[in-house]
Amino acid sequence: MNHAKTLRDLLAQDTCHIMPCCFDALSAKLIQQEGYDLTFMSGFAASASRIGAPDLGLMSYAEVVDQARNIADAISIPLIADGDTGYGNAMNVRRTVAGFAKAGCASVMIEDQLAPKRCGHTPGKAVVSRDEAFDRIRAAVDEREALRARGGDILILARTDARHDHGLGEAIDRAAMFAELGADILFVEAPKTEAEMRDVCANLPGPKMANIVEGGATPDLPNAALHDIGYSLAAYPLSLMASAMQAMVTTLRAMRDDARPNQMDFTDLRARIGFNDYYETSDQYASSKRD
């Protein structure tokens, strides 16, 4: 299945796709089961889930691409992966893009933060120079073209965090150059008002992504408003993680009081994980029926 082509087709539609973000294979399966067209592997949520640590550049390239591979193997909808800063210089960026393509991702995000990167809605962010930022995207696009020449494909999602220290104008200028260099999707992180969001979309070509963090810097607008502004994708990086964490804490506190929490029915749980599919397939093989 050509997930990159599927993603391009989705981006060509006149809509803003709601994109709940996953953090592991199970959360990605639930997103697909609920009928969403695509998902994004949130670096924030993946770091919390995999290593129990904040998204401050602690996960290595190998850990992140392994997480993405597990997710891509579990679903059939396009997955966009968080490639952070590309994990080094331009040659590292090329390796990162190739690695995520091999893992089955439809797109990979490369950003202009200074390593080690930080979550886009937390303090302490800084960006590299324009030249270094442009080199990262140029290298990512070059690897995309090399993949295409070999029969592969992946989209480049180019992100800038320049709004934080250098203002919206610098962020828009950087993103405009990312587009000139060949990036497929543009992401200006953390505009602070609806007016800033409109400036971003009015001044940049092609598909744009909004990043909606509940309680974060960017206004949490209805999807119809995001579409009207000009966004093609609306990522919700923490909605599932925050909901899952709240449910787990509530359950743990209830169990301590010897109460039984409200939770998913065991039959539904087994079905969503894939037990029924396993049994249906295994019935074709006599030896498997002993399992």
H and E: helices and strands count for the chain: 12, 8
- Max Cα separation, the chain? 66
Question: Each residue of 233-246: pLDDT tens digit?
Answer: 999 999 999 999 99
pLDDT of the residue at 116: 74
Which amino acid type is present at position 216? G
For residues 235 and 19, is the Cβ–Cβ distance under 8 A?
A: yes
113-123 average pLDDT score: 69
Q: What is the pTM of this model?
A: 0.94
3-state secondary structure (DSSP) of residue 82: strand
Whether residue 27 is predicted with pLDDT greater than 60 in this model: the reply is yes
pLDDT of the residue at 260: 84
Write out the CATH class of domain 3-242: alpha beta
Cis peptide before 116 (omega within 30 of 0): yes
* Closest listed residue to residue 109, CA positions, set 214, 207, 252: 207
For residues 209 and 189, is the Cβ–Cβ distance under 8 A?
A: no
H helix intervals, 16-160: 25-33, 43-51, 61-74, 90-102, 130-149
Whether residue 229 is predicted with pLDDT greater than 70 in this model: the reply is yes
Whether residue 290 is predicted with pLDDT greater than 70 in this model: the reply is no
264-291 average pLDDT score: 88
pLDDT band for 117, please (50, 70, 90 cuts): confident
122-138 average pLDDT score: 89
Question: Each residue of 64-102: pLDDT tens digit?
Answer: 999 999 999 999 999 999 999 999 999 999 999 999 999
Cα separation values, 152 from 9, 99, 223, Å: 17, 12, 32
What distance in Å separates the CA atoms of residue 156 and residue 248, rounded to the nearest whole number? 35
pLDDT of the residue at 81: 98
pLDDT band for 228, please (50, 70, 90 cuts): very high
Non-local (6+) Cβ contacts of 34 within 8 A are: none
* Domain(s) of CATH 3.20.20.60: residues in the chain: 3-242
172-193 average pLDDT score: 98
Q: What is the mean pLDDT of the chain?
A: 95
